[in-house]
Chain A
Amino acid sequence: MSEFEPKIIAFVCNWCTYAGADLTGTSRIKYSSNVRIIRLPCTGRIDFMLILQAFGQGADGIIVSGCHPGDCHYTAGNYHARRRWMLFRRLMDFVGVDLRRVHFSWVSAAEGAKWAELVNQVVDEVRTLGPYKAFPQRFHENGFPVQLTVAN
């Protein structure tokens, strides 16, 4: 495998984007298999640390996605998350983290096609950027870096 295949981690909320991604599958829409989906209860639960930890374990790009404003299963989780992202994005940018690798999105349970399009776009963008080598990697106690693998 000579061509670079980016590893994308997606943190999604249980109620909208996860269901949306499910719909993509049941609708038989084909999309890039580089994405690894991690389901969380709500975007409000997506701690900003998860983003750093994913990069630290070899992710090349990250998608964070949840319910559209007004649709949150817990009424306001996505509004709180949005405020946090607004500040966290500025901080990451200030520290010099590559913001072209971090994508935020709202994908509802009905937007299976939007999910496929989003993933494909992010994968394409990150593929042109190449592997995120600049980011420090997390090491196991045995001294080897923690590595993610992309299944073919």
Chain B
Amino acid sequence: MEQLQQMARELLERQQVQVIIGYEAGSEANRRRAVFVRRAEDVSRLIFDDACRQNLATYLLKPEVLVLGKIGMVVRRNTLRSLMQYAVENQLADERVIAIGIGEEGGPRLLPNFAAVEEYLAQLPRGPSAAEKAELKKMEQLVMEQRWAFWREEFDRCIKCYACRAACPLCYCNRCITEVNQPQWIPVASDALGNLEWNVIRAMHLAGRCIGCGSCADACPQGIRIDLLNGLLAREAQQQFAAEPGYGQRKDYALAVFKPDDKEEFIR
């Protein structure tokens, strides 16, 4: 932690960045929240531990954050993958952010540009954890009616607060499909069909892009397992189209390209 604070202080003092976005202690002992450190004397607020789960990349595309100047950011592996996906989707200029990589892999270490991030990510383990895989398998072993009952129960709790969207680094559209109201594409009220549609459409819009940070499920006040939907589509996109979002600057978006011999055994 001292190393992290020292690194942040140097970056600020040398004017290499104007703001450091990191984690500080939250309102309860086991909670952390984002902090924007703009003066070198405030770096002691920065902390890092396992409870720092929020994907801070979410802040990067906001105009009110971009005007602050060059940004230093405390990043975990998933946040780094978000940065790479921003690069693929042309949302963030190279060297706009100095990443301070930290996490299970050790660190902190400075990653000043996309090339450095890509190189760093290449050394880390890939793919979902064994627990995540097992959870998907478990769901798939249920029969159709059980799966339907499970998701109806999950979606029934949805209150359409859109916290999942707010927490997601890749839900950055200026005008989200859910705000399209001529015609009203997704109903505003939180009814059974509307909740199903909202959660399905969000998963589909992230298919092949989601980097699996799980921030959506963490942010959901109702504890809906949105991460399972995203996890399933990430696995399918990986298996069927070899999609690995967030690992390279030059990766194609799986649903924007095609192969003439894509599998079509389900088409009559």
Chain B, range 187-204, C-beta contacts under 8 Å to A: 187, 191-193, 196-197, 200-201, 203-204
How many A-B residue pairs have C-beta atoms within 8 angstroms? Tell me. Answer: 111
Give which listed residue, B185, B204, B258, contacts A91 with CB less than 8 A: B204
A97 with B148: CB separation less than 8 A: yes
Give chain B residues whose Cβ lies under 8 Å from the Cβ of A86.
236, 240, 262-264, 266
Scan A84-105; emit 1 where CB is below 8 A from any B CB, else 0. Answer: 1111111111111110000111
Q: Complex Cα distance A92/B203, Å?
A: 11
Q: Is B267 an interface residue (CB 8 A)?
A: yes
Cβ distance A9 to chain B, nearest Cβ, rounded Å: 15
Q: Complex Cα distance A79/B267, Å?
A: 12
B191 with A139: CB separation less than 8 A: yes
A79 with B258: CB separation less than 8 A: yes
Give which listed residue, B186, B255, B259, B267, contacts A104 with CB less than 8 A: B267
B255 with A82: CB separation less than 8 A: no
A105 with B193: CB separation less than 8 A: no
A136 with B193: CB separation less than 8 A: yes
Interface centre among B145, B237, B268 (most CB of A within 10 A): B268
Interface centre among A86, A89, A103, A137 (most CB of B within 10 A): A86
B260 with A79: CB separation less than 8 A: yes
A49 with B201: CB separation less than 8 A: yes
- Assess A80 versus B258: contact at CB under 8 Å? Given A87-B204, A94-B229, A137-B193: yes
Give the contact-size bracket for chain A.
35 or more
Give which listed residue, B146, B149, B204, contacts A88 with CB less than 8 A: B204
Scan A58-70; emit 1 where CB is below 8 A from any B CB, else 0. Answer: 0000000000011
Interface centre among B145, B263, B267 (most CB of A within 10 A): B267
Cβ distance A64 to chain B, nearest Cβ, rounded Å: 9
Chain A, range 94-141, C-beta contacts under 8 Å to B: 94-98, 103-106, 118, 134-139
Q: Complex Cα distance A108/B150, Å?
A: 39
Q: Is B208 an interface residue (CB 8 A)?
A: yes
Q: Complex Cα distance A96/B141, Å?
A: 12
A82 with B267: CB separation less than 8 A: yes
Q: Is A76 an interface residue (CB 8 A)?
A: yes
- Assess A87 versus B229: contact at CB under 8 Å? Given A94-B140, A118-B268: no
Give chain B residues whose Cβ lies under 8 Å from the Cβ of A88.
204
Q: Is B133 an interface residue (CB 8 A)?
A: no
Q: Complex Cα distance A106/B266, Å?
A: 11
Q: Is A41 an interface residue (CB 8 A)?
A: no
Give chain B residues whose Cβ lies under 8 Å from the Cβ of A87.
204, 207-208, 233, 236-237, 240, 255
Q: Is B161 an interface residue (CB 8 A)?
A: no
Q: Is A28 an interface residue (CB 8 A)?
A: no
Q: Is A40 an interface residue (CB 8 A)?
A: no
Q: Is A52 an interface residue (CB 8 A)?
A: yes
Q: Complex Cα distance A134/B193, Å?
A: 11
B151 with A136: CB separation less than 8 A: no
B147 with A96: CB separation less than 8 A: yes
Query: In the complex, which residue of chain A has the Cβ closest to the Cβ of B142?
Result: A96
Query: In the complex, which residue of chain A has the Cβ closest to the Cβ of B136?
Result: A94
B203 with A91: CB separation less than 8 A: yes
By a beta-carbon cutoff of 8 Å, the part of chain A in contact with chain B is 48-49, 52-53, 56, 69-70, 76, 79-80, 82-98, 103-106, 118, 134-139
By a beta-carbon cutoff of 8 Å, the part of chain B in contact with chain A is 139-140, 144-152, 185-187, 191-193, 196-197, 200-201, 203-204, 207-208, 228-229, 232-233, 236-237, 240-241, 254-256, 258-260, 262-264, 266-268
13 A-B pairs besides A79-B260, A87-B240, A105-B268 with CB distance below 8 A are: A56-B193, A56-B197, A79-B258, A80-B256, A83-B255, A91-B232, A95-B147, A96-B145, A96-B147, A96-B152, A106-B268, A136-B192, A138-B187
